[in-house]
């Protein structure tokens, strides 16, 4: 499931590539046809993320709310002109070719799939039509003259009013990017301090704290040395504060790098090896049965609230 850093990166891509543009909105799959008709032809004014949810604001007081859920992802295709280009003179609408007077190369379509992971490719667009044909069950397509964003497999995709957006935001816990470190800590403390829920479950509750998913949950608890089954009400305030401060530390790293990095003490070649290999990025997540990197205890695996839970019984007690 995409965690908070991924959704913040997606929102940032929309801000840099589409905000300020009039957007053609369609639903190739058909399941969002009514919502697409409401948004079609409007200017995208802003796009922001809170936790795992993204909100795109259009003119006319309408928002697009997207929750990627477990399987959702955005595919971005960007037309990049390496020379001055014009539409094909023969009237093939949407076909791009190099302008007369010489070409420095064919136009390129840069594609990025953004969800739980990001993958980028570049393909020649010479002779291809723009925009590219939808692939698979595209719930919604947002299109400008040079950027195409296709959404597949979301849990939520809906057109809503500002009042409905405000109601959704009120139900979400603090997000370091949105609330800041100080205000976010106050909100997190007030929400979490007296809960009897095991801390391993509470960190996944988006009404308590926004954006933390399965990987960050396991890694943050390891870094804090906290048993995931500890009732939250039994944690000292400094332990809760350490968890919040660590989330404020790790989230910007994920937003910057595009990957979840929790072994933050590495330097030089060890750091590069960690960035290059998923298996080296985490302390406990995905390492069931392997020795703890700190104490050698085999990493434990259980299920909590339907999700896999990893922890070290030697370090977390």
> So which residues are the catalytic ones?
2-3, 52, 307
Alpha helices in 193-286 (DSSP H): 199-202, 214-224, 237-257, 268-276
**Are 23 and 144 within 8 A, CB to CB?**
yes
Please report how the helices 214-224 and 237-257 are oriented relative to each other, as an axis angle in degrees rounded to 10: 130
Cα distance between residue 94 and residue 99, in whole Å: 14
Q: Give me the DSSP letters along 8-52.
A: HHHHHHHHHHTTTSEEEEE-TTSTTHHHHHHHTTEEEEEEEEETT
Question: How crowded is residue 168: how many other Cβ atoms within 10 Å of its Cβ?
Answer: 17
Residues in the chain: 317
| Cis upstream peptide for 165 (omega within 30°) | no
**Are 284 and 262 within 8 A, CB to CB?**
no
Cα distance between residue 111 and residue 76, in whole Å: 5
- Given the DSSP bridges, would you call strands 147-152 and 62-67 parallel, antiparallel or unpaired? unpaired
**Are 111 and 120 within 8 A, CB to CB?**
yes
> For residue 278, what is the DSSP state?
G
């Amino acid at each position: 499931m995409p965690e908070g850093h991924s959704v913040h990166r997606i929102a940032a891509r929309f801000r840099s590539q589409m905000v300020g543009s009039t957007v053609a909105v369609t639903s190739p799959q058909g399941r969002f046809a009514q919502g697409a008709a409401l948004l079609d032809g409007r200017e995208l004014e802003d796009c922001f993320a809170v936790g795992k949810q993204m909100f795109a604001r259009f003119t006319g007081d309408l928002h697009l709310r997207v929750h990627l859920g477990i399987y959702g992802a955005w595919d971005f295709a960007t037309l990049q002109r390496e020379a001055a280009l014009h539409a094909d003179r023969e009237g093939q609408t949407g076909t791009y070719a190099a302008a007369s007077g010489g070409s420095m190369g064919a136009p390129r379509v840069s594609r990025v799939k953004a969800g739980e992971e990001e993958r980028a490719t570049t393909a020649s667009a010479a002779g291809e039509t723009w925009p590219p044909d939808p692939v698979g069950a595209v719930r919604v397509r947002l299109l400008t003259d040079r950027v195409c964003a296709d959404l597949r497999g979301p849990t939520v995709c809906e057109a809503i009013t500002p009042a409905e957006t405000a109601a959704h935001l009120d139900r979400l816990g603090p997000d370091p990017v949105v609330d800041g470190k100080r205000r976010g800590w106050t909100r997190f403390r007030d929400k979490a301090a007296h809960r009897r829920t095991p801390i391993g479950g509470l960190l996944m509750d988006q009404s308590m704290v926004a954006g933390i998913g399965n990987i960050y949950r396991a890694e943050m608890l390891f870094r804090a040395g906290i048993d995931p089954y500890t009732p939250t009400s039994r944690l000292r305030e400094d332990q809760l504060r350490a968890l919040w401060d660590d989330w404020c530390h790790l989230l910007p790293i994920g937003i910057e790098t595009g990957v979840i990095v929790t072994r933050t003490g590495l330097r030089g070649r060890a750091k590069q090896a960690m960035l290059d290999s998923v298996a080296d990025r985490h302390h406990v997540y995905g390492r069931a049965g392997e020795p703890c990197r700190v104490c050698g205890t085999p990493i434990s695996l259980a299920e909590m609230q339907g999700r896999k839970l990893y922890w070290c019984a030697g370090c977390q007690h």
